[in-house]
Amino acid sequence: MKKVIYLDNAATTKTAPEVVDAMLPYFTELYGNASTIYELGGSSKKAMNEVRETIADILGAQENEIYFTAGGSESDNWALKATAEAYRAKGNHIITSKIEHHAILHTCEYLEKNGFEITYVDVDENGKIKLSELKKAIRPTTILISVMFANNEIGTIQPIKEIGEIAHENGILFHTDAVQAFGQLPINVDEYHIDMLSASGHKLNGPKGIGFLYIRKGVKIRSFIHGGAQERKRRAGTENIPGIVGLGVAARRAAETMKERTAKEIALRDHLIDRVMKEIPYTRLNGDRIDRLPNNANFSFQFIEGESMLIMLDMEGICGSSGSACTSGSLDPSHVLLAIGLPHEIAHGSLRLTLSEETTLEDIDFVVDTIKNIVERLRSMSPLYEDFVKKQAVK
Amino acid sequence: MYSEKVMDHFQHPRNMGEIENASGVGTVGNAKCGDIMRMYLDIDENGIIQDVKFKTFGCGAAVATSSMATELVKGKNIQEALQVTNKAVMEALDGLPPVKVHCSLLAEEAIHAALWDYAEKHGIKIEGLQKPKSDIHEGEEEEEEAY
């Protein structure tokens, strides 16, 4: 098999070997149900509670504020729907941003059909939420502000502390989708006034199908899955112990290596951005140049289309992603790229590359060289580029 | 997701490029939706398509359908070229995923647009050819601006 350069770590990550090693005994030997009284079940419960402590420690939270879920989308759905239900007597208004993940946006659309009013606050050209608009959107009936910690497509990190303060000062709950940020950025729920936080295991070298929702003590939030008494009666279902154990190892590992790992990723990411911007004309960097996830680069190459680029990259063993319509299954390109003001045709030519701790300088140089050739080839095939060149010649 | 033939035509597009002083040029599609196809036809005095070239902005299927369409019309007369439907293009490519069927429609339209341009330039009427509706050659050009 040819060498694969995996630069789609915002989609999912490779499960770390020590994560898999830690999980295996919970399939084969320590398979007990954590709700039972015998020792076999007790070992499952003990392992689970240790993970709760680990995650609480990382966030500066209490262990009884961590609720395991099946992943980021479930956590987002739970946070929004259950808050809406529990606080309906207080109001029916929720504020979010235009660049949230679909797990938030589609849940908001569902709530709108059920009598809730949602304000989708604009972002600036770098993808940062407009705080003045956020403040203006607040009403007496506002019960929740939900803004993602960092964007999955363009990597922009939001001013979470400021948003948390605004929510706190106005007595409004604050939820953040931290699926991309948890494990990549230091997060303290008290410092940022976060009342709820969603995270997922498979974005930080943990297993798929496991995540958690942090819910601050005192927040009234209803059960999402009804049934047994698991997760303090708020999320029924026999716990996914292997997944939880894997999440714990992955979270601890991510927290312990964060400083060193992200410093290395930032250096490589900046090398990637610098070379692409310098060597490929008519290219735009999407997302904030400074406040961006350590491993994220997102470009728009004018006059070409993203899916073609991805197929050609794949032929060279490079895995990336695009916000073009063809990759979204609809006719519209990414809502995030449109929200930062890109015209459709430029949004179609976007490429997201997300690095991992395994990415090397050689990988990046090979990737840039390959992108250069692909962009040149696709432009030579593009009627948009032909028109542009002819127009330049007339000038 | 794509057939081997689609991948082959994407990786090795046939007749990609431009024809200077072409007998007819047609551009269809819309940058907003992410596909634009341009066809160049070189038609001799007997109405035979001697040469054909294309340029496409779009996904893998858009490139492959353009490429296949050029192969299907090359050497044909105008009436034969008009019979090259999107179905014929799809069949020749061993099918397309459902979300990509519109690419084959675009390829058919691109040929028609180029033939329409040829007819207009030469003051003739081609039996059975309708004015293509999505020719975007005029107007939208102004929107393109480089950084």
Per residue in A92-108, pLDDT tens? 999 999 999 999 999 99
Tokens 């999505």 locate to B134
Is 0.85 exceeded by the ipTM? yes
Interacting residues of B86 by C-beta distance below 8 A, sequence separation 6+: B65, B101, B104, B105, B107, B108
Q: What is the phi/psi pair of residue A122, to 5°?
A: -70, 160
Report residues of chain A scoring pLDDT below 70: 1, 325-331
Q: Which two tokens stand for residue B86?
A: 């999107």
Banded model confidence at residue B143, pLDDT cuts 50, 70, 90: very low
Q: Quote the strand ranges of A227-370, DSSP E.
A: 283-285, 296-301, 318-319, 350-354
CB atoms A384 and B56 under 8 Å: no
CB atoms A348 and B37 under 8 Å: no
- Rounded Cα distance between A379 and A375, Å, is 6
- pLDDT for the residue numbered B140: 40
- Residue A125 touches partner B, C-beta closer than 8 Å: no
Q: Given B7, B27, B33, which is nearest A331 (Cβ)?
A: B33
- pLDDT for the residue numbered B132: 81
Are A154 and A286 in contact by the 8 Å Cβ rule? The answer is yes
Q: What share of chain B is helix, strand, coil (3-state, %, to 5)?
A: 45, 20, 35
- pLDDT for the residue numbered A394: 87
* Closest by CA position to A156, among listed A119, A122, A189, A129: A129
Q: What is the phi/psi pair of residue A284, to 5°?
A: -125, 140
- pLDDT for the residue numbered A10: 96
Q: How buried is A129 (Cβ within 10 angstroms: 0-12 exposed, 13-18 middle, 19+ buried)?
A: buried
pLDDT tens for each residue of B97-110: 988 998 999 999 99
List of chain B residues whose C-beta atoms are within 8 Å of the C-beta of residue A382: 36, 55-57
Q: Which residues pair with B27 in a beta bridge?
A: B38
- Rounded Cα distance between B70 and B56, Å, is 12
CB atoms A344 and B33 under 8 Å: yes
**Between A and B, how many residue pairs show a Cβ–Cβ distance under 8 A?**
83
Distance of CA A365 to the CA centre of its chain: 26
List of chain B residues whose C-beta atoms are within 8 Å of the C-beta of residue A277: none
CB atoms A383 and B33 under 8 Å: no
- pLDDT for the residue numbered A20: 98
CA-based nearest residue in chain A for residue B26: A383
Shortest Cα distance, chain A CAs vs residue B67, angstroms: 11
Banded model confidence at residue B135, pLDDT cuts 50, 70, 90: very low
List of chain B residues whose C-beta atoms are within 8 Å of the C-beta of residue A301: none
List of chain A residues whose C-beta atoms are within 8 Å of the C-beta of residue B141: 387, 391
- Residue A315 touches partner B, C-beta closer than 8 Å: yes
- Rounded Cα distance between A37 and A292, Å, is 47
CB atoms A383 and B27 under 8 Å: yes
**What distance, in Å, lies between the first and last C-alpha atoms of chain B?**
34
Banded model confidence at residue B13, pLDDT cuts 50, 70, 90: very high
- pLDDT for the residue numbered A221: 86
- pLDDT for the residue numbered A323: 83
**What distance, in Å, lies between the first and last C-alpha atoms of chain A?**
49
CB atoms A387 and B144 under 8 Å: yes
- pLDDT for the residue numbered A331: 65
- pLDDT for the residue numbered B142: 40
- pLDDT for the residue numbered B138: 40
- Rounded Cα distance between A329 and A99, Å, is 18
- Residue A311 touches partner B, C-beta closer than 8 Å: yes
Banded model confidence at residue B46, pLDDT cuts 50, 70, 90: very high
A78-106 core/surface letters (b: 16 or more CB in 10 A; e: else): bbbbbbbeebeeebbbbbbbbbbbebbbe
- pLDDT for the residue numbered A17: 98
